[in-house]
Amino acid sequence: MTKGPVTTAEVLEVVAGVHDLCRRLDPDAIPLHEVPDAFDALTSLERLGGGAVLRMAARYDEAGAWKRNGAKSAEDDIARKTGTPTGSARRKLNTSKRLKRQPKTDEAVRRGQVSPDQANEVSDGADASPEEEDELIRSARRDPLHELRKRTAAAKAKADRDREETRRRLFRSREVKRWNDTEGMGNLLLRLPADVMAEVDAALKPRVERAFADARDAGRFERREALTADVARDLLLGGGDDAGAKRSSQAVRPEKKVIALIDVPALNRGRVEGDEVCEIAGVGPVSVSAVRALMSDAFLTLVFRNGEDVRNVTHLGRQVTARQRTAMEARGCSCEREGCGGTYLLDIDHNEGWTLTHETRLDDLSWLCWHCHDLKTRNDLRLVGPPGRRRFETRKGKPWHAPPASGAPPGAACGAGGTDPPARRPEPEQGTFTLAD
């Protein structure tokens, strides 16, 4: 292995070799049993190359080549060269500059342990809260990207010394953008502070569930995003009344609901201190004033940290109680199997199985997407591990791994729509909706 800094000549030589490899690559010529190894090698190559570009971006800015190219800025030139939006290029450039003072993250990028998108999140969180850098790197190597984003948001909120000013700044940044794309679709982007968007979520959720029930009654399976677009269109055009509630033969949960988890001292004081919590389920940390602003609305449910310990609420029935459901929703409505995090067609499932314990305890309940629930049931598995990080085990206590699928399409992802959902009529409580996925 060659030691010392890489030279431009070495870079050009490697790129020439990769050019030749890609030119000669014929996916259909690779035997099926070798495809996983080849695919993994190419994804490693993509990650290493993307990381190298990320690390070089700041140096490219210093070189000033974008000025000679007639670009407005370095990010505009990088966006043109990489074929990405200017916003993505700007974030890449900002991360590249931060990596110079974040050696641990830089090393993870250098070794291909994190992708450029993961590096953006880790660097952003570590910049606000340097003590969280190691944990963010571990999360990047272990968790899906959306979970890493949650951890980054939590790290930034932890380091936020003035959440009230942050809330005012975010409110000033609210906006709507409108444009047409090359596919002939009109796009509408709505940006609001997360606590305000939680109110939008609560208003949309029952309407989307109703639309889902109507489509299901008509024998149609529609994507959640498509149904949400229909609901938003009807509301904007004045057709979003509640008359449709009578059309569906399936019961839906009509109430609006926003769940806030907060320490009572923080609520009384008006700000959080130390390790106190003030957050909205599905949104993350918010200011105390944001929760207080929602308290006048009937659809806010508060979960107090020093109230009844809902973790120990137990009853002998099979169905969850209203108190347990609220506590589950406060934990976040996403599949708790590690590596999944799906938010569509969720079930509340007993980890051990009600038929074995004959009791329903909050610490024995988990959110599972339809796919993970089906795997657990068909293979007679149980869930172990902390909430949000569950993993499958056999009844004998051994880790379970999915057997190789025969004839299954490659890349079918857990909870990500790799296959169609099973043909079943879920209970009304199973349909969940989160606007800002």
Task: Tell me the pLDDT tens digit for each residue of 287-338.
Answer: 888 888 777 654 566 666 654 444 444 344 456 667 777 777 777 778 888 8
In this model, does residue 261 exceed pLDDT 60? yes
**In the chain, % of residues over pLDDT 70:** 79
User: Model-level pTM greater than 0.75?
Assistant: no
* Mean pLDDT confidence for 341-360: 72
The amino acid at 309 = D
| Lookup: tokens for 11 | 């870079």
Q: Which tens digit of pLDDT belongs to each residue from 121-142?
A: 999 999 999 999 999 999 999 8
Rounded Cα gap, residues 400 and 372, in angstroms: 12
Q: 323 and 313 in contact (C-beta within 8 Å)?
A: yes
Burial annotation 356-384 (CB, 10 A radius, 16+ → b, else e) = eeeebbbebbbbbbbbbbebbeeeebbbe
Rounded Cα gap, residues 337 and 386, in angstroms: 10
Q: Which tens digit of pLDDT belongs to each residue from 427-436?
A: 333 333 333 3
Strand duo 258-262 + 300-304: pairing:
parallel
Rounded Cα gap, residues 243 and 200, in angstroms: 20
Note the pLDDT of residue 426: 40
What sign does the CA torsion over 411, 148, 433, 196 have?
negative
